[in-house]
Amino acid sequence: MPEKHQRYFLKEKEAKSLLAEASERLRTDLNIILKNKTSIEVVKSESVEVFLAEGKPILARSEGRLFPTLLFAKFLATAPRAVVDMGAVPFMCKGANVMAPGVRRYEGEFRKGDYVFVVDEKHGKALAVGEAQYDAEEARNVKHGIVFRNVHFVSDNTWGVMKSLSS
């Protein structure tokens, strides 16, 4: 049975507050990326809230954690990323954490706790949003273990809500 969704627009003050919180968490000014458009729509399900700007899912909140969605193309273009080998792809799509041996390279700078997009090496497609367990310089030297905790991935609940919006 399909999950029920509640859909509504945030008041301007709430939208500004959300964007300020997200800007601080992502260490980037989302007002610049979104060109100061503060009209934010919320799609709320039992497990996740997805925030849309101009009809596109940009942020999500699940279990109290606010994070960028895999479809936030304007942020993805400038955000740090970890490029993983194709062998890691099926595991990433099932929610696995990013392990050091699967990372081919890092692009951009990040600090421990920052969100980093995880992309495949062949197509550059965003597979997951991970939370860095190390600063970028440290991560480049790690040879084993988890380097990013998976927060959002292709086929998770957030992905399901986003995909239901387009159908």
pLDDT digits (tens, 9 = 90+) for 16-31: 999 999 999 999 999 8
In this model, does residue 1 exceed pLDDT 50? no
Give the pTM: 0.91
Domains belonging to the chain, first-starting first, are 6-70 (3.10.450.120), 75-153 (2.30.130.10)
Looking at residue 108, its pLDDT comes to 95
In the beta sheet, which residues pair with residue 84?
Answer: 103, 120
Q: Which of 10, 15, 43 is nearest to 162 (CA)?
A: 43
Taking the CA atoms of the chain, what radius of gyration do you get in angstroms? 16
CB 82 within 8 Å of CB 92: no
Looking at residue 164, its pLDDT comes to 86
